[in-house]
Amino acid sequence: MPAEQVLKNVRDQVVRLAREVNHEQVPALYDQSIGEFYFVPGPVPGPAPEPVADKGVGNLESFAFLASAKTPQERQKIEQDLWEQLRRSLPKDVLFGFLEAKEGAPRPVWGFQPATTKSDGRTVDVTATLGELKEGRLSFDDARITEYKVDCDRREFVVIRQVDHGGVFYPPEAQRKSGAYIPTPGSGQESLEQALCEVPLRITPLWALNTIEWIDVGGGWKEARQITWTDPKRPNERYVFTRHDYPEPTFYGSEVSYGWTGINCTTRESRNTGFYEATAKGEILKVTGRSPAWEHFTETSVSSNVYVFLCER
C-alpha cells in the first residue's frame, strides 16, 4: 500500500473518532518525500522458539532433543537437566551395596542420599548411609554417614567427612590424598560410581514411568522405543530404555528393574548398563551399575529383538 494512502487512512480515522466525542479535528499532512514509498505486509509473528535446554525437561521429549543436539555443550546441558530430574525423583535413601552379614544379625547395607548428591558426570559429591536389611525391609541410619568426592575419570573415591551419631571426623588433606582409592570391581561402591558418572544410567527417566509405553521383546523384557540414547563418538553403539519384570520378588523386595540395553550394530554385541530396581508400585529400592562389557548374542535372544529395533529400522 502506498505510504500516502496509509497517512490518509490514519487522518480519516482521527476525524471519525473525534466526531464521536463532539470534537472537530483534521490532522494536516505535510509530504516532502520524493519518489514512491509502500508499506509491505511482513510475516505473521508466531511464538518465540523455546531454548532446547529448557524444552522438554520433565517429559520424554528431552530424549528427542538430546538426539538432535548439535553441539557437545548442548548435549551436556540436556543430560544434566535429565540427571537433576532423576535425582529429584529418587527416595531419601537408595540401596547400592551389601556388606558382609553376620549370622543371626540384620544384614548391613550401604545406601546413598540423592537429595545431597551433586554430579556433573566428571566429579561427584555424595553421602553414603549405613543401614540394614531385616526381615526383607530396608532401613537406613542417617546418623552414620560418610561423605565422598568421586573423580569419575579416575574412578577414585576420597573421604571428605564421616559422622557417627554425633561424632564428626574430617580427614586432613594428606590423609585424604593417601586414602584415595579405586573401588574393587563388582563392589557396591563401584556400582555407585557408575550410577552417578555413567551416561545413560545417570539420565534414567524414573520420573516418567507412568507415561511410558512399553513394547514386549520377550523373556520378561520390555523396551520403551521413544527413549533412546547414542554417544556421538560411537554412533554404532545404541541404547534403548528397558524394563525387566522378575518372576518373583528379590529377598529385599524388588519386583522390576529399569535400565538401558546397548547394542553394537557393527559387532552384534549387547551390554546392560546397570539398572534401578523397584517394587511393582514403583518404589525405587536399589541401583546397580555395570562395567561396559560387551557380549555376543544369539539370533533367538532378547538382544536380537532389540538389535532389530536399534540397528535395522
Q: What is the pLDDT of residue 172?
A: 93
Dist CA 120 CA 79 (whole Å): 9
Mean pLDDT for the chain? 87
Does the pLDDT value for residue 216 go beyond 90? yes
CA 136, CA 285: separation in Å to the nearest integer?
Answer: 12
37-46, 175-184, 265-274, 297-306: range with lowest mean pLDDT? 37-46
Q: Where are the domains of the chain?
A: 1-46, 90-197
- 30 has pLDDT over 70: no
Specify the pLDDT at position 300.
92
pLDDT digits (tens, 9 = 90+) for 171-209: 998 988 888 999 999 999 999 999 999 999 999 999 999
Cell reading at 279:
517394587
pLDDT number for residue 56 = 38
pLDDT of residue 146: 96
Tell me which of 30-39, 56-65, 100-109 is least confident.
Answer: 30-39
pTM comes to 0.79
CATH class of the 90-197 domain in this structure: mainly beta
pLDDT the model gives residue 145: 96
pLDDT above 70 for 213: yes
Q: Which of 21-30, 80-89, 95-104, 275-284 has the lowest mean pLDDT?
A: 21-30
